[in-house]
A and B are shown apart, each in its own frame.
Chain A
Amino acid sequence: MLGYYVDLAVRSLKRSPGLTVLMILAIGFGVAASMTTYSVFRAVSGDPIPWKSSQLFVPQIDMWGPKGHGGDGDNGDPPDAMDYTDALALMHDHRAKYQSAMYMISPSLVPSQAGKHPINVGGHAVYSEFFPMTDAPFQYGNGWTAADDEQRAAVAVISDKINQKLFAGANSVGKTIDVDGKDYRVVGVLKAWNPQPRFYDVSNTGGFTTNDEDLFIPFLRAIDVDMANSGNTNCVDIPAQSGFKGLQQSSCIWMSYMVQLDDAPSVEAYKSYLDGYAREQQHAGRFSWAPNNRLRNLPKWLDAEHVVPTDTEISLLVAIGLLVVCLVNTAGLLLAKFLRRSGEIGVRRALGAPRTAIYAQFLVEAAIVGFSGGLLGLLLTGVGIHSVSWVLPKDIASLARLDIPLLLLTLVVAVVATVLAGIYPTFRASRVQPAWQLKSN
C-alpha cells in the first residue's frame, strides 16, 4: 500500500509544482536555520571532558566579604577566582585526590637556532596534579612530579605546536628551551589538545578562546621567577605593596583552582573542609564574615559562569521561531492542497477506503514533502555552517561541525515536523463527507 501512496503523493505534488516548491523551500530554510544555529549551540554547550566532568570541582571562597557584593547582578556567590593566600593554603592542605591552583602566563620563547625571531606563547603555571586531573594527552614524556613542584624545578610541558616549531616534531623530552631568558628542561610534549570551553580556567578565558596553550611550567617556579599573570586581576582594595609580590600579598583574585573528587563522600568531606577553612580564617580575624563557599562540579560551574554566549542562545531561539513559522506556513499550504482534492477523497471513501487509508495517504505525502525539505535543509545547513564564521566570532564559529548525528537529526526534524504540520490538514481531509462531494460533482 505504501508504494501506492508514495505514487499518489508524487502525482499530487507534481500537479501543483509551485505550491510543492514553496513548501519544500519553507521546510528547507526553517530546518537549515535551526540546524546551523543548533550546531553552534551544541558546540558551545558541550561537555569538554564528558568522562569525568562530574568528578571535577571548582571551589570558591569568599575572601572579599561584603565588599565584593552588592553590585549589578550579585547573587551572593563568592568571587569566581582565587587569591594567592587562599590558593596556596588549599594546595598546602591537599585534601582532594588531585588539585591545582593555576594562573595564566604569556612569556616569550627564544629559539636556539640563530636568526629565528623570538615567539610569544600562552600557557599556564600549574601544579603536577593538573595533568592527571585534566587527562591532558601526552605524545612524549609525562608531566613533572610532586617533588619538582616542591623544588621549583625548571621543567616544562610544551604543546605539539611548539614542539613542531622548535624541534620539528621530534621527541624533545630532555631538551632545553629558553623561556623569558631562563632555561627549562622539557619533560613532556602534549598531543594536539584544545579543550573548548577551556574548562580548567574559565575565569580567565571566558570559556572559549582561540589562544593556544603552548606551555605549562610549575606554579611555584613561576612565582619564584616573578612571572606575572597575563590573565585578569580583580581587586576590591589597592594592594598595599607594588609589584608581583604585592599582588601575592593582596586579596586580589587572579587564579583558577580545580580539584578532583571521585565520590559523594569525598565531595561532602571537601565541602566541610572548605567551611572549616573559612571558619578558621574568620577566627583568625582575616575574614569578618561567615563562611560563604561554593563547590560546583564542572557542568554546574560552566553554567554558573555563563560560558554559553548569550548571542548563541538568542540565535538558536530565533531560528527555532523561524522553523515554527515555516511549519505553520506548511500546515496552511497542506490544508489548501488536501482540501482541494476533496472530490478525489470523496470517491476513495465512497469506494470503501477507510479513514485510516486517507490518513496514511496524506501523511505519506506530508512525509515526502518533509524529506525533500530535509534534503534541501541539509544542503543549506552545510552552506550555513561554512558561512557561520562570517557572522559569529571565530572562537565560537570554528567549533561548529556538520557530522553524521547532525545530518540525521536534520532529516528527522524535517520529516517529523512536516508530518506534525500535516496532521491537522490530514484530519480535515479524512472528515470529508463522501456523499456531499459526489453530489456536487
Chain B
Amino acid sequence: MMQIRPILAALRHHKAGTLLIALQIALTLAIVCNALFIIHQRLTHLSQPTGIDEDSLLIVQNQWAGRPAPAEVPSLLAADLDTLRKIPGVTNAYPSNTFPLSNGGIAYGIGHSPDKLKFTSDTAIYFTDENTLPTLGLKLVAGRNFRADEIGEAAGLDKIAPAVIIITHELADRLFPDGSAVGKMAYISNQPSIIIGVVERLQTPYVDSAMAQWSACSTLVPFRHLVDSTAYVVRVQPGQMADVASHVRAALYAANRMRVISAKDGVQTFAQVRATAYASDRGMAILMGAISVVLLAITAAGIVGLTSFWVGQRRKQIGVRRALGATQHDILSYFLTENLLIGFAGVVIGGVLALGLNLWLMNQFEVERLEPGYVIAGVIALLLLGQGAVLAPALRASHVPPVEATRSV
C-alpha cells in the first residue's frame, strides 16, 4: 500500500477521468441498490404462500344468464356441483363468491364490538360450505369444520350475520393474542359470531400492497351466495388437471346452456390465477433486473475503456518504472490499487446517493426503507466489478517491456 501516494499524485493529472469513473460507480451503486431492493420486495410479495393446495385446484367462474331469482339459485348450484363431481378426476368442489388472489371480493372489519369504527382487523369474507376445507386442503389447527346443516343462504347485498365462523390463525392471533380463539365471539356484523375453527393459513383475494397488512386475515362464513355469479373451486386428482380443465366447460354447458363461462378466463388452473395476480410484480422484477444488468455491464465497460486509455497514455512511464526495477506484479497492483481508490470514492458517494434516492422514493411512492444489507452488497459487488474490469488493461500494462522507456511516443 506504499503506492498510494504516487497513485494519488498521478490521479491529480487525470482529475476529470477519475471523477467521471467515480461518479459513474456512485450512480450505478445508487440505482442498482434500489433496483435490487425493489426486486427483493416483489419476489417476497409474489412468493407469499396462499395456504391452499394450489397444484390440485381449478377455478370455474360461472354467471347464470337471465338473472335467476335468489330462490332458484340453490338448486342451480346443487346441480352444478353434482355435474362437477361426476367429471372423472374431480374429487371435491364448493361454490364461493371468490378465491385467493382473485383480486375481488368482500372485506369487513372484524372486532370485539358491533361498532364498526372499533374493529380489530380488516378481514376478507369467503362464502364457504362443509367441503371448503377438504377442497382447498386447509389445515385446521383448532376447533372443527362447518357441518352441512350449518350452511345458510344469503342473497346479494344481504346482511351477513353468521352464527358460526372459521378464521385464520393470523386473524385469531390479532383478535385473541392471549389464547385460543375457538368458542369465543367476534363481530363482523352487528350480531356476534362464534368462532368454531381456526385454519393455519388462508390468504385474502387481494394482492394490492394497500391491503398487505391483513393479507393473511380471512374469515370463512357458512353461506351459499344466491347471486348470478359464482366461482366454483374444484379439487382435481394429481395428474388429471389438464384433462379436467379441458372438459369442465363443456360438461357444465351440456348440463345447462343458460350460463356464461368465459372462453378466455372462465376456467383457470390455480397456477394461471397466480400468474395473473402477480404479473405486475414479476414484470417489475424482470425490468429492474434487466436495467441493473445493463447498468453494471456499461459501468464495467466504461472502466475497461478509460483504464485502457490511461495504460496507453502511460506506456512510457510504465517502461521507465520497469527499467528502474519495478516488477510486473508492481505494475499490476498499481492499476488495481488505483481502481480500488477510485472505487472507494465512488461507493462512498454512491452509498449516500442510494439512501437519498430511497428516501425520495419513500416520500413519493410509498416504497419501503432500503435495508442496509443491500447497500453493503452493492458496494462489494461494485468494487469487485471494478477490479474485474480493470484486470485486463492492468495485465496489459504489466506486460509493457522496460525497453519502452527508451522509445519516444
Contact = CB atoms under 8 A, between A and B. Distances in A.
B2 interface: no
Interface of B: 16-17, 20-21, 23-24, 27-28, 30-31, 34-35, 38, 63-67, 116-117, 155-159, 189-190, 227-229, 253, 257-260, 262, 279-280, 282-284, 286-288, 291, 294-295, 298-299, 301-302, 305-306, 309-310, 312-313, 361, 364-367, 409
A318 B288 contact: yes
Nearest to B304: A22
Contacts of A440: 409
A238 B24 CA distance: 58
A329 B116 contact: no
A23 to B, nearest CB: 8
A325 B31 contact: yes
A120 to B, nearest CB: 4
Contacts of A239: 157, 159
B157 A247 contact: yes
Nearest to A242: B158
A106 B406 CA distance: 87
B279 A393 contact: yes
A33 B291 CA distance: 8
A392 B228 contact: no
A243 interface: yes
Contacts of B155: 242-243
Given A239-B157, A340-B309, A315 B284 contact: yes
Interface residues of A, number: 63
B24 A325 contact: yes
The 10 closest A-B pairs by CB, nearest first: A391-B283, A118-B65, A336-B309, A181-B66, A332-B20, A329-B302, A108-B65, A180-B67, A120-B260, A242-B158
Given A181-B65, A227-B67, A392-B287, 13 more contacts: A26-B298, A119-B260, A244-B157, A247-B157, A309-B280, A318-B34, A328-B302, A329-B301, A333-B302, A390-B283, A390-B286, A391-B284, A394-B279
Contacts of B365: 310, 313-314
Interface in A319-354: 319, 321-322, 324-326, 328-329, 331-333, 335-337, 339-340
A107 B65 CA distance: 8
A333 B305 contact: yes
Contacts of A337: 309
Given A108-B66, A108-B67, A119-B260, A246 B157 contact: yes
B345 to A, nearest CB: 14
A436 interface: no
A413 interface: no
A110 B305 contact: no
Contact of B116 (A236, A322, A441): A236
B189 A107 contact: no
A324 B286 contact: no
Contacts of A228: 156-157, 227
Given A238-B159, A242-B157, A107 B67 contact: yes
B32 to A, nearest CB: 10
Nearest to A337: B309
* Most chain B C-beta atoms within 10 Å of own C-beta, residue among A25, A26, A311, A328: A328
A365 B168 CA distance: 67
Contacts of B253: 117
A26 B157 contact: no
Contact of A441 (B229, B306, B312, B409): B409
A29 interface: yes
Contacts of A340: 309, 312-313
B28 to A, nearest CB: 6
Interface in A220-259: 227-228, 236-239, 242-244, 246-247
7 contacts: A180-B65, A236-B117, A314-B38, A322-B291, A326-B298, A328-B20, A333-B302
A117 B260 contact: yes
* Most chain A C-beta atoms within 10 Å of own C-beta, residue among B116, B262, B282: B116
A175 interface: no
Nearest to B67: A180
Contacts of B227: 228
* Most chain B C-beta atoms within 10 Å of own C-beta, residue among A120, A227, A309, A394: A120
A83 to B, nearest CB: 14
Contacts of A178: 66
* Most chain A C-beta atoms within 10 Å of own C-beta, residue among B157, B253, B279, B313: B157
